[in-house]
Structure 1
Amino acid sequence: MRSNDQNANGTLLGQSDLAERRANPRTSTALTATIRASGDVRRIKGEVADVSVEGCKIFTWGLREGDEVWVAIAHLAPMPATVMWSREGVVGLKFKGTLHQSLVTHLGFL
């Protein structure tokens, strides 16, 4: 299985290549997130590096690819998401629903 940072030939992609592949633009942030894995009572803290209408990247530990979680970013209510990838203290989450673009823009200003 190739990672999200590789093309079909296994070649590592640069940041500009990854940005071009994204369906939705990401907004850089430095917001606090609280994450709870489904069926788990412990809460994990993290820092949101970027967010889009469909997901976010968070600096945190203790989550694995495929984990179903609830994530609360800044002042937002917790929302369900899936861990799409996890490596060395960084995870990529895909929200079960989508955020409105105006909310993503707002988060970028916090």
Structure 2
Amino acid sequence: MDERTSKRVVVDVEVEARIDERPCRIFVTDLSTGGCMIEAEDADLVPGDRVMLHFERLVDIGGRIVWLREGVGGVQFHLPLHAAVVERLGFRPGDEWDSDTAQLFDNFGRPLPVPRPPRAIGMRH
């Protein structure tokens, strides 16, 4: 059961970060107003580490690593990230995206749902 209280979006962005004051670059792959999922293969991460993420030209946000598994971890933000920033960073497929055949997967290999196009009000199938 998912206990999240805020909407998650899929992102794929490399950011500058400081983990317990050590500079590094990490990938953010999942984002919400309350936290994010990160990949940091070369960083020596430990649950409880303090994290500062720099989303270029948007915001710097701090938090703590709350879980970790094989170089992938979850960060809980100290303060909520503004929903507009979350939406701005969210994945938006380009024109080449074919939603009938394409499938996205998260870092654990689980398929992500493809949003359905909005239906016109009053239309029947």
Please give the TM-score of this superposition, normalised by the length of structure 2: 0.64
Give the deviation of 1:74 after TM superposition.
4.0
Counterpart residue identity of residue 52, structure 2: W
Partners of 2:49 and 2:16 in 1: CA distance: 15
Greater helix share, 1 or 2?
1
1:21 has 2:3 as partner: yes
Counterpart residue identity of residue 75, structure 1: R
The answer for unaligned runs of 5 or more in structure 2 is 93-125
Match of 1:10 in 2: none
Give the aligned CA root-mean-square deviation in angstroms: 1.7
The answer for unaligned runs of 5 or more in structure 1 is 1-16
Match of 2:89 in 1: 107
Partners of 1:52 and 1:95 in 2: CA distance: 9
Count of residue pairs the alignment pairs up: 90
Match of 2:111 in 1: none
Q: Deviations over 1:4-62 (max 9, x none)?
A: xxxxxxxxxxxxx3xx3211121001011222123x3x312111111000100011132
Rg bigger for which structure?
2
Counterpart residue identity of residue 17, structure 2: I
Match of 1:48 in 2: 28
Match of 2:76 in 1: 94
1:77 has 2:59 as partner: yes
Change (3 A) 1:26 1:46: same
Q: How does 1:27-46 map to 2 (within 5 A)?
A: 27-38=9-20, 40=21, 42-46=22-26
Partners of 1:96 and 1:35 in 2: CA distance: 15
Counterpart residue identity of residue 82, structure 1: R
- Secondary structure of the residue aligned to 1:106 is helix
Match of 2:102 in 1: none
Partners of 2:31 and 2:15 in 1: CA distance: 11
Contact 1:65 1:83 in 2 (8 A): yes
